[in-house]
Amino acid sequence: MADLAAEFAQLASAVHGDGDNASALQRVAELTVKYVDGCNWASITEIHNGVGRSLCTSDPLAAQVDAIQHALGEGPCMQSAAEDNNYLLFDVIDEPRWPNFAAQAAADTPVRCVLAIRLLGGESAALNLYGAEPDAFDDEAVSDASILAANATGLVVLTAIEDERQHLELALQSNRQIGMAMGVLMAHHKITEQQAFNLLRAASQRLHRKLRDVAFEITETGELPGLTPAEAVENGSAAVRPARAAGSSDDLADVSAPMNPA
């Protein structure tokens, strides 16, 4: 246990500041295999909106067993992550609680025993231990696994915070890009903010591309992709005419022409 405490001290140092949380979680899976008797493979599962995913795995086999549970929507790891409980599957050959998972795990993998420990503090996550022998985990193994799970909880929370930060940054970047593209359209065609957004959205729908990707192309090329002149009129610029300066000879049909024709 002293060695394990030293390992976690190194992990804490690694994730301090701008540390690599993914590598730290990977190390947790490896330490689980190293320090828990009977554990041959390990992973950490997270459930979001009913869909499971592996945050880390000790090796491809652990990923395979996780994937079986995610695809079937059942198994000790999925149930442990979704509930505030720990689960021990003694032998996949004789397991009535998760019959589909047990049957496929027995047929496709060497896993016989599964221990899933809920990560307290995480939204929906569990530390998963897979053994090659039935009834692989005794009381001491469960205790050691619980210690590992307690230390892993903080890393899972940090990973969730980092994911949320990245999503917010992406949303902010997208909003900025869309705003810049709308500004280009408004300045070039003398249209309103709503009309510019309508044009951008219409092009996105026609091209089946994300709004931010179309916006990026507009700011890079100065062109409005995906719409013919008539479609541009129909999809948001019909009100441009009253906004034109008196005596202007510009026609709305030019709305999809290159903004920098030279």
- Which residue is associated with the tokens 């496929």? 104
Confidence of residue 238 (pLDDT cuts 50, 70, 90): very low
Query: Residue 214: pLDDT above 70?
Result: yes
- DSSP one-letter string for 198-262: HHHHHHHHHHT--HHHHHHHHHHHS---S--HHHHIIIIITTHHHHSPTT----GGGGGS-SS--
Domain positions in the chain are: 2-161, 168-256
Q: What is the mean pLDDT of residues 85-107?
A: 94
Whole-number Å distance between alpha carbons of 146 and 119: 9
Mean per-residue pLDDT, 70-94: 92
What pLDDT is recorded for position 201? 82
Q: Topology of domain 2-161, per CATH? A: Beta-Lactamase (3.30.450)
Burial tier of 147 (Cβ tally within 10 Å: 0-12, 13-18, 19+):
middle
Structure token pair of residue 97: 């609680």
Angle at 90 between CA 89 and CA 92, to 5 degrees: 75
The rounded distance, in Å, linking the Cα atoms of 7 and 33 is: 13
| Tokens encoding 160 | 């969730």
Structure tokens at 89: 């599957």
DSSP state of 40: S
Stronger pLDDT, 244 or 116, i.e. the higher one? 116
Give the tens place of pLDDT for each residue, 125-167: 899 999 999 999 999 999 989 888 887 776 776 655 555 555 5
